[in-house]
């Protein structure tokens, strides 16, 4: 049995669908029954679970041989870093009880760094805790998801200006479609790591893109000119707070983009395996526009 935590998310849904297409049994772990309905339609067993509740994690793992673990940064928490660390620690404590389980843990580019990377520091904590707790471990590190641009596409549609925390706007950086991360996750789940050393797999698109490229793809999708503009550093926190993030969450993102713009966040050179997604930026951005209900 393959168990997918976060199965209702973009990556998890794709992983579950790919495994079902391969004829594999899948248990989809979701927070509520409504999230499970589309997964049940493709033949997944649905289990309600919560990574902050060790007992529910244990129930979801009953009878499993492989599991995909997603520990997301919680939105709406006053102290999101502490909340995510508790989630990671709870998961690691439960996983320790299942020594034969193959665990594919979703991580981030830059997770090898141990200081001053904002959100990515939480994935450093995840990798460290899971390495201690899990014998058969695959760390799937992905670059920034193309779908993250959905947060600012409405601003671009309203103003013709795509605000970017990536500076400068002509510098290319690694991105990947969440769909492609899910495809690679399903592949490494099927290709079970039976060794006692953590396997590191990094995934990004088969080419790199800049914010200017994102603006060009959006212009093409809506048949209207959009330009990318670097949002001044002193406007980052106010913009993130207006978007509904708590102060501490906004600081995590600010620290992340400071590290990214300094060139510190990238694939770890010479470590593990590299995979490349086939989805182009134009395809991903074109899919965002109707999904956001925009024209």
Q: How are beta strands 161-164 and 102-108 bridged, if at all?
A: unpaired
The pLDDT of residue 86: 95
The predicted pLDDT at position 77 comes to 86
pLDDT at 105: 98
Question: What's this model's pTM, rounded to 2 decimal places?
Answer: 0.95
- Domains in the chain: ranges and CATH: 2-291 (3.40.50.720)
pLDDT of residue 295: 46
Strand partners, 209: 173
pLDDT at 156: 94
Residues of the chain with pLDDT under 50: 295
Amino acid 293: pLDDT: 57
- In this prediction, residue 233 carries a pLDDT of 97
């Amino acid at each position: 049995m393959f168990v997918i935590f976060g199965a209702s998310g973009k990556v998890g849904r794709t992983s579950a669908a790919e495994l079902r297409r391969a004829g594999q049994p899948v248990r989809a772990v979701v927070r509520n029954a409504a999230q499970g309905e589309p997964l049940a339609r493709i033949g997944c067993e649905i289990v309600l679970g919560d990574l902050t509740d060790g007992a529910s994690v244990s129930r979801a793992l009953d009878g499993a041989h492989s599991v995909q673990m997603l520990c997301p940064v919680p939105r709406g928490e006053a102290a999101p870093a502490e909340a995510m660390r508790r989630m990671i620690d709870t998961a690691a404590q439960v996983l320790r009880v299942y020594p034969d389980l193959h665990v594919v843990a979703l991580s981030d580019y830059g997770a090898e760094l141990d200081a001053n990377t904002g959100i990515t520091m939480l994935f450093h904590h995840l990798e460290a805790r899971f390495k201690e707790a899990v014998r058969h471990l695959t760390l799937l590190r992905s670059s920034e998801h193309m779908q993250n641009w959905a947060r600012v596409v409405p601003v671009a549609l309203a103003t013709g200006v795509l605000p970017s925390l990536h500076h400068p706007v002509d510098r290319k950086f690694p991105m990947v479609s969440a769909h492609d991360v899910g495809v690679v996750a399903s592949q490494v789940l099927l290709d079970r790591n039976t060794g006692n050393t953590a396997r590191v797999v990094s995934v990004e698109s088969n080419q790199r893109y800049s914010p200017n490229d994102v603006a060009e793809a959006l212009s093409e999708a809506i048949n209207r000119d959009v330009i990318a503009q670097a949002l001044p550093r002193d406007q980052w926190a106010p913009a993130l707070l207006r978007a509904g993030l708590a102060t501490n969450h906004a600081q995590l993102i600010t620290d992340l983009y400071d590290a990214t713009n300094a060139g510190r966040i990238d694939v770890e050179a010479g470590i593990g395996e590299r995979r490349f997604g086939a989805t182009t930026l134009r395809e991903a951005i074109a899919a965002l526009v109707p999904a956001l209900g925009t024209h």
